[in-house]
Amino acid sequence: MRPSREKNNIRLVATLLAMLTAYSPIARGQNPPAPAPTPTSEKPASGFSVQTPPQQPPPAQPQQNLIPVLPMPMGNLGQPQQQQGTRPNTFLAPAPNLPPLSGVSEVQAYDPGTERRPTLIFKTSEGEFKVRFNKQWALLNVENVMQLALGLKEFTDIRTGKKVKRPFYTGLTCHRVIKGFLIQCGCPFGNGRGGPGYSERDEVSSFVKIDRPGLVVMAPQVGEASGVRKYVKNSNGSQFFISLGPIPELDGQATIIGEISSGMDTIKRIASTPTGPTDRPIRKVIIFSVDPDVATATDMPAPGVDPFKN
């Protein structure tokens, strides 16, 4: 009896093993499920137990259709180069070809040296008159007076003793009027004793004479020798006079720089101004400004013509 019972037990075990093998997931070709993570416990130094939640895998992101971005080639100056056949980038396009800035204004400055007979307009309290200069008569003195008038030449300020550069004649007066003889202007003191702080040499020509009214002549300093008053040579500065008639005694001594080309009516008014004992006008004749006259007349009046008779 005992051997048959053992055989039956063996058969029963074999049958159970066969059934387990047949119904197992591995036998059916399936992977067994992953075991669930077991919570772990950590014991900190304080003695409390801390439960750590199981880590869940991140959710799967849906796959997108991505376009690869290629780096844009760079030029010598670090600017992107334009691909051939592509639309130009307006923000990176080079500036259009513009004319370079010259730094010069469109208004051209008047240059007294561009004409042989330039003209200046003297605006005074009695009206205005024009002086047309002649460089053929006295080049150095003409340029001296014109540069002083236009603020192009440095001179000594009588109030400060310093070198300055500004329109010299603005604000000065015609300080001397001798009826039938001359009108004198250009002294910063207003008494005939001042100048720009330097002297210019004489330019006397034998063919140019003070033989009519309206000539503009440099007024040099006057000295006295042996009881005779004479002009000091090479002492021209800023003062000039306008002839009111022929002055033959000054021929060969004074430098003639030009003549009145317009405004003889103003010259007549100045000449008729009442004067005091020292030939100084009682009512000041002030020079407000001296401006260049771009539209210069072409020809000078013929010698011997008296502007007062016009």
CA–CA gap between residue 144 and residue 199 (Å, rounded):
10
> What integer pLDDT is reported at residue 32 of this predicted model?
55
Q: What would you report as the CA-atom Rg of the chain, rounded to the nearest whole angstrom?
A: 55
SS3 of 134-157: the string is: CCCCCHHHHHHHHHHHCCCCCEEC
> What integer pLDDT is reported at residue 58 of this predicted model?
60
**What does pTM read for this prediction?**
0.59
- By CB atoms closer than 10 A (0-12, 13-18, 19+), residue 262 is middle
Taking the chain (310 residues) in runs of 10, the rounded mean pLDDT of each run is 68 74 57 55 49 58 50 47 46 42 40 66 97 94 96 95 96 96 96 94 89 95 74 92 94 93 96 93 96 64 46
- What are the phi and psi torsion angles at 288 (to 5°)? -75, -45
Alpha-carbon distance values, 276 to 142, 177, 273, 282, 283 (Å) = 31, 10, 10, 6, 10
- Which residues have C-beta within 8 Å of that of residue 303, sequence separation ≥ 6? 211, 212
DSSP three-state, residue 282: coil
Q: What are the boundaries of each domain within the chain?
A: 120-293
DSSP for 190-227, please give it: SSS---SSS-B-----TT----STTEEEE---EEEETT
Alpha-carbon distance values, 34 to 21, 40, 53, 85, 256 (Å) = 20, 17, 18, 58, 123
Pick from 228, 217, 225, 222: which is nearest to 254 by CA? 217
Token look-up 């074999």 returns 14
> What integer pLDDT is reported at residue 251 of this predicted model?
87
> What integer pLDDT is reported at residue 8 of this predicted model?
74
CA–CA gap between residue 176 and residue 185 (Å, rounded):
7
118: tokens are 């330039």
CA–CA gap between residue 46 and residue 49 (Å, rounded):
9
> What integer pLDDT is reported at residue 179 of this predicted model?
93
> What integer pLDDT is reported at residue 3 of this predicted model?
59
Rounded to whole angstroms, the maximal C-alpha distance in the chain is 186
> What integer pLDDT is reported at residue 309 of this predicted model?
53
Alpha-carbon distance values, 251 to 22, 133, 256 (Å) = 150, 18, 9
> What integer pLDDT is reported at residue 230 of this predicted model?
75
43: tokens are 């014991």
27: tokens are 């036998």
CA–CA gap between residue 38 and residue 54 (Å, rounded):
8
By the 8 A CB rule, do 164 and 154 touch?
yes
CA–CA gap between residue 216 and residue 131 (Å, rounded):
8
Q: Under CATH, what is the fold of the domain 120-293?
A: Cyclophilin (2.40.100)
CA–CA gap between residue 73 and residue 60 (Å, rounded):
36
